């Protein structure tokens, strides 16, 4: 307002000076007589100029100030209404007019971001709530089975030994599944409330990957799977070993759960401009639209929710966050029934 008001006042004063100069110049071009009424009128006006000029300037000041003030109030009202529109959940554009084009662009960009974040938060909340319901239902199933089989073992005193062993084995497997589901509940809480902080140290990445692959060997054998680890060179890295191990665990567990039986899980380690770690397995091709969402919180590929493989939908989201806080990136590729996860970490 101050800039517009100042410019308007300067323009107004210049206009008065020019108008006064032109009037004097115009009137002086005529021959006037003392008894001419018009001459006497202009003489009266000339005598009152010391009073009239300040009055004209004052009223001009008041008029220009009022116009600028009212215009500013109109702008404020428009902006207030636009701010209200920011929080409306719709795709309508905010229109402020040509004289406020830059503000209009900024507010529309802000509205897009707010609407996107709001919808994403609502979608994540819906997924989380659905997941809690699903997990609660899944908890009941193995718990009921465990109690049922243990009750048979307890109550049937003359149960054959082989049958008793079979029931105990089933109850044990159900209890393991129950433990896994309970851990997923804690995983949801940790992901929502824990702040990931890095505890960095120097370690050999080759040794870590070999150890993790060896530890997953029993799970692979259940599906008659095996692994192949190829490292182009020995790589030392400065990172949080526990968190990186967790991200690699998630990728391997994902490969085992969703990979085809009787196949090979390939892990490749190379160093170029960055450290590149590739996890590859054979499995159902992931559609492009699902690849875009695969790292989102609570997103699960198994829409049919297979009890044995369905996770909380947090594994890949947590993996992505761990990689990114290390300054790296992760992406997924899938074609011809092959799934690849490519991790790129900065060199020390």
- Residue 158: which domain range? 119-193
Please report, for residues 112, 138, 246, 324, the alpha-carbon distance to residue 192 in angstroms, rounded to integers and kept in the order given. Answer: 25, 22, 17, 17
Provide the b/e sequence for 221-238 (b: ≥16 CB within 10 Å): eeeebebeeebeeebebe
Q: Is 78 a member of any domain?
A: yes
Which CATH number is 176's domain given?
1.10.287.130
pLDDT at residue 261 in the model: 93
Query: What is the C-alpha separation between 214 and 209, in angstroms, rounded?
Result: 9
| Domain end position, chosen among 38, 62, 86 | 86
Last residue of a domain, one of 143, 165, 193: 193
What's the mean pLDDT in 18-40?
68
Where are the extended beta strands (E) located within 97-136? Answer: none
Higher pLDDT, 230 or 40: 230
Q: 173-219: per-residue pLDDT in tens?
A: 878 777 766 776 666 666 554 556 778 899 999 999 999 998 888 88
- Would you place residue 344 in the very low, low, confident or very high pLDDT band (cuts 50, 70, 90)? very high
Q: What is the distance between the alpha carbons of residues 47 and 278, in angstroms, rounded to a whole number?
A: 95
Q: Classify residue 104: in a domain, yes or no.
A: no
Q: Give the model's pLDDT for residue 307.
A: 44
Percent of the chain topping pLDDT 90: 21
Residue 94 located in a structural domain: no
What's the pLDDT at 264?
A: 95
Residues 208 and 314 in one domain: yes
Considering the domain architecture, whether residues 27 and 68 belong to the same structural domain is answered as yes
Residue 245 located in a structural domain: yes
pLDDT the model gives residue 34:
65
Q: How many domains does the chain have?
A: 3
Q: What is the pLDDT of residue 122?
A: 81
Say if residue 327 is in the same domain as residue 228: yes
Count other Cβ atoms within 10 Å, centred on residue 79: 15
Residues 240, 273 within the same domain: yes
Distances (CA, A) of 340 to 16, 56, 61, 251, 279: 78, 80, 73, 10, 6
Q: Is residue 106 part of a domain?
A: no
Per-residue pLDDT of 159-171, as tens digits, reads 788 887 888 888 8
How confident is the model at residue 309, as a pLDDT?
A: 47
Average pLDDT of the segment spanning 269-283: 93
Amino acid 163: pLDDT: 80
174 vs 278, residue with greater confidence: 278
| Residue 209 and residue 333 in one domain | yes
* pLDDT over 90 (residue 237): yes
pLDDT of residue 22: 76
pLDDT(94) > 50: yes
In a domain, 114, yes or no: no
Please check whether residue 323 lies inside any domain of the structure.
yes
Instruction: Give the model confidence (pLDDT) of 284-313 as tens digits.
Output: 998 887 787 787 765 655 544 444 444 555
Q: Evaluate if residue 30 carries a pLDDT over 90.
A: no
Identify the CATH number of the domain in which residue 246 sits. 3.30.565.10
178/198 Cα distance (integer angstroms): 31
Q: What is the mean pLDDT of residues 26-55?
A: 69
Query: Which residues contact residue 33 at a Cβ distance below 8 angstroms, ignoring those fewer than 6 apart?
Result: 39
State the chain's mean pLDDT as an integer. Answer: 78
């Amino acid at each position: 307002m101050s800039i517009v008001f100042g410019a308007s006042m300067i323009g107004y004063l210049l206009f008065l000076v020019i108008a006064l100069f032109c009037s004097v110049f115009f009137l002086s071009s005529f021959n006037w007589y003392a008894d001419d009424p018009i001459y006497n009128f202009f003489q009266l006006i000339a005598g009152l100029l010391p009073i009239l000029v300040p009055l004209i300037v004052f009223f001009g000041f008041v008029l220009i100030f009022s116009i600028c003030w009212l215009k500013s109030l109109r702008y404020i009202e428009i902006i207030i209404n636009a701010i209200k529109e920011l929080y409306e959940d719709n795709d309508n554009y905010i229109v402020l007019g040509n004289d406020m084009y830059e503000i209009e662009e900024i507010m529309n960009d802000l509205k897009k971001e707010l609407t996107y974040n709001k919808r994403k938060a609502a979608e994540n909340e819906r997924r989380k709530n659905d997941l809690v319901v699903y997990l609660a239902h899944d908890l009941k199933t193995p718990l009921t089975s465990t109690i049922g089989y243990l009750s048979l073992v307890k109550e049937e005193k003359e149960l054959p030994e082989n049958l008793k062993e079979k029931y105990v084995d089933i109850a044990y497997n159900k209890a393991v599944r129950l433990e896994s589901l309970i851990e997923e509940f804690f995983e949801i809480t940790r992901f929502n409330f824990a702040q990931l902080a890095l505890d960095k140290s120097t370690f050999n990445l080759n040794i870590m990957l070999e150890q993790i692959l060896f530890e997953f060997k029993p799970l692979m054998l259940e599906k008659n799977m095996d692994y192949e680890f190829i490292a182009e060179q020995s790589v030392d890295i400065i990172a949080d070993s526990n968190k990186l191990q967790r991200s690699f665990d998630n990728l391997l567990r994902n490969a085992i759960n969703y990979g085809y039986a009787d196949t090979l899980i390939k892990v490749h380690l190379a160093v170029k401009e960055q450290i590149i770690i590739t996890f590859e397995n054979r499995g159902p091709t992931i559609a492009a639209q699902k690849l875009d969402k695969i790292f989102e919180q609570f997103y699960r590929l198994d829409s049919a929710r297979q009890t044995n493989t369905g996770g909380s939908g947090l594994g890949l989201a947590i993996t992505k966050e761990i990689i990114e806080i290390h300054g790296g990136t992760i992406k997924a590729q899938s074609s011809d029934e092959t799934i690849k996860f490519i991790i790129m970490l900065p060199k020390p």
